[in-house]
Amino acid sequence: MAEAHAAVAFSFSVTPDGELDVNFNRDVLRAVWESGIRSWRRRFERFKNRVHNGAYPASPMSWLFGVTFILALTLAQYDVSFGLVRKIEHNLPMVMDISAPYDLYLSCIISATILWMAMIYLMKWFIMKLLQYHGWMYDPRGKMTIKTKIWLGMMKFVGHRKAQLYSWQGSLPKLPVPSLEGTMTRYLKSVRPLLNDSEYERMSLLVEAFKSGIGKKLQFYLYLKHWWSPNYVADWWEEYVYLRGRSPIMVNSNFYGLDAILVQPSSVQVARAANVSHAFLTFMNLIDREQLQPIYVNKTVPLCSAQYERMFQTTRIPGIETDMLVHVQESNHFTVYHQGRYFKVYFKHKGRLLKPCEIEVMLQQIVDNKSEPSTGEEHLAALTAGDRTPWAKARKQFFSKGVNRTSLDAIEKGAFVLALDEDEQTYDPEDHTKLDNYCRAMLHGKGYDRWFDKSFTLVVCKNGRIGFNGEHSWADAPILGHLWEYCMGADVVDGGYDDSGHTLGKVVTKPPHPIRLQWEMNEECVEVIETSLAQATKLLNDVDLHLLVHDEFGKGFMKKSRTSPDAFIQLALQLAYFRDAGKFCLTYEASMTRFFREGRTETVRSCTNESSAFAKAMEDTTKTNKERIALMKEAANSHQDGYRDAMSGKGIDRHLFCLYVVSKYLGIETPFLKEVLSEPWRLSTSQTPHQQTDKLDLVKHPNYISAGGGFGPVADDGYGVSYIIAGEDCIFFHISCKNSCSTTNSLRFGKVIKKSLADIKALFEEN
């Protein structure tokens, strides 16, 4: 009730004489005034950014120059508008009603604006055509064709003049629809090492029947969607791969990230949480103001920035049949979970972002608070870890009104969720289980201490170690990886700690108190929560997760072998799986399609004829090392071509996926697509990118690179492998599988990966 009384801006009473006595609360009125100013300032900033991005790569000032130029020449009796000024002056009613010479002035302004907009359109069209060229990716390493040199010169001429986060969005090309013939050819080639002769012949017949039959009709509808939408894959991918899934998103969909495990800036939990939270909020402001620089490949080609928009203030809301993503435009708080209780923490006070030392004070108040969780509160987040439909029903039945709705809004509309764990996590080179447990804590925790629906949950352990759990539908891992890398740098460069491990700076103004969220849950609601927790517990107990720290060699040796580091690792994974399982499997490697508008990911099918030949040669004692190296080079080149095809819009799997969606809309069953879409990915892999920001110089601070992150197994009898090439001499492998599968074991597979890497290295050392 104290907050309610403080929120009253004025009160009044009637005196015995009948006079009205009005009392104003100046502090509240000032807060209302400042809130309005901030709102209008934000609107103006967004309007200014829209104008800037709409005009980019021209500038709004170029419009003023154009108006002045045309007006001056028109007054000097030179018509550079090709008669447009006179036509507007004598034919446009609103101009004809104005007396001279103002009709001429207005005609010049209108014609200059039309010509200026036409010029911008032509510039954007020209840039789009330039960005459709991907031949530079296929040029041999260290060499550049004449065509690429000309293209590069034109791109540099266009330049990156004061590009904001979304400046390039209007110039990015659409993701092309691959030809049906091309996709079918690439598909057959990708499955050849997995099928014997009779199986391959059968699949070839299915492909031919599909290609010459219903495939043409489905392809036609895809062309229509490509023409109509900014990206023919993106909305269907988000809806059908993520939001329509009814199984738990914990482990099955969400992913995680880890701290820089080789250093520990502070062991004080609230201090580390304050510095990292402040870095997140700074990053959020950069996104909101569009001051974050776009990502460029080779400092030339911009990547799509659309996914950044929903990084903060976004929550996945459960539905009976499909979920939805809800993003609020503005938030001034985040939510903290500690010892089974939820708190609302304001990060702005008197119109400014609180300093890390002020946030630390608020978090310390939460830690010092000894109140007990209310009924059902401790395990509440288990609802977000279980099946989606029961959670949707419970949300509607128990959380649609009253204090439960108010408290749930505080979580869902907050910038993010911060979980202050009671457990400590650490890295011990002599005990791999500690690091494995660290990964498990970030992937699933206890099943009830992460709000899995939130765009991400920041986790700070008792001893100051940090990590995050990210929801996948709103964006892909590289987007959160960018935030995380910025956070690592800000923690060192902008943050810092004193000798006792606390944040730097002094608290000048007392920050607002955290607000304890209130809940009223009856026995039926608690029973639903506990049912979801039981399901989540069963799911997380089935996870077998291991983090391999491979420090025998890294990117440095791979570059010396003149092999792409990613191809090097992918071939080692193919060899490892062949040794572990005695066969090859359909392999998924995620690549990005962010060269295109609203692009997300595409699949690189890493198991190829060439990689299979190399793996077999490594186990064939009759082969010489020279022959093995030749096969490896051929396999690496094949892998690189597949990766380039995927990034340039010539992938296989997103095309097949969209053809399948169209067939479902038309109510058509196709044996080919049904079989293709049901094939299990027994080896699912992904590389975590880094150096997306120059916030921290990793040459000077190599130990501050994050250990990357990982995800749960995709197939019941398969492995999930995520890796990050951490500098010149280290690679982190996050390996997951299921305990319930008798043929997989993450620790064993990690050892096989390590041996495979060592054997490949020995090939080059001996030659």
Burial label, 306 (beta-carbon count in 10 A; 0-12, 13-18, 19+): buried
Phi-psi region of 461 (alpha: psi -120 to 50; beta: other; left: phi over 0): beta
Question: Which residues, 6+ apart, have CB-to-CB distance to 458 below 8 Å?
Answer: 273, 276, 277, 280, 416, 417, 418, 419, 466, 468
Element (DSSP H or E) covering residue 214: helix 214-228
Which residues are known catalytic residues? 472
Tracing tokens 């006179």 back to the chain, one arrives at 86
Burial label, 206 (beta-carbon count in 10 A; 0-12, 13-18, 19+): middle
Q: Which residues pair with 544 in a beta bridge?
A: 737
Contact (Cβ atoms closer than 8 angstroms) between residue 170 and residue 680: no
Element (DSSP H or E) covering residue 459: strand 456-460
- Any idea of the CA torsion for 303, 309, 311, 316, to the nearest 10 degrees? -120
Contact (Cβ atoms closer than 8 angstroms) between residue 145 and residue 135: yes
Q: DSSP of 163-202, one letter per residue?
A: --TTTTGGGPPPPPPPPHHHHHHHHHHHHGGGS-HHHHHH
> Could you count the other beta carbons within 10 Å of the beta carbon of residue 447?
26
Bond prior to 57 in cis (omega within 30° of 0):
yes
Burial label, 178 (beta-carbon count in 10 A; 0-12, 13-18, 19+): buried
Alpha helix positions (H), 381-431: 388-398, 402-412
> Could you count the other beta carbons within 10 Å of the beta carbon of residue 42?
14
Alpha helix positions (H), 619-708: 625-647, 653-666, 671-677
Question: Which residues, 6+ apart, have CB-to-CB distance to 766 below 8 Å?
Answer: 625
Contact (Cβ atoms closer than 8 angstroms) between residue 224 and residue 232: no
Calpha distance 394→386 (Å, rounded)? 12
Calpha distance 746→738 (Å, rounded)? 9
Alpha helix positions (H), 491-552: 523-541
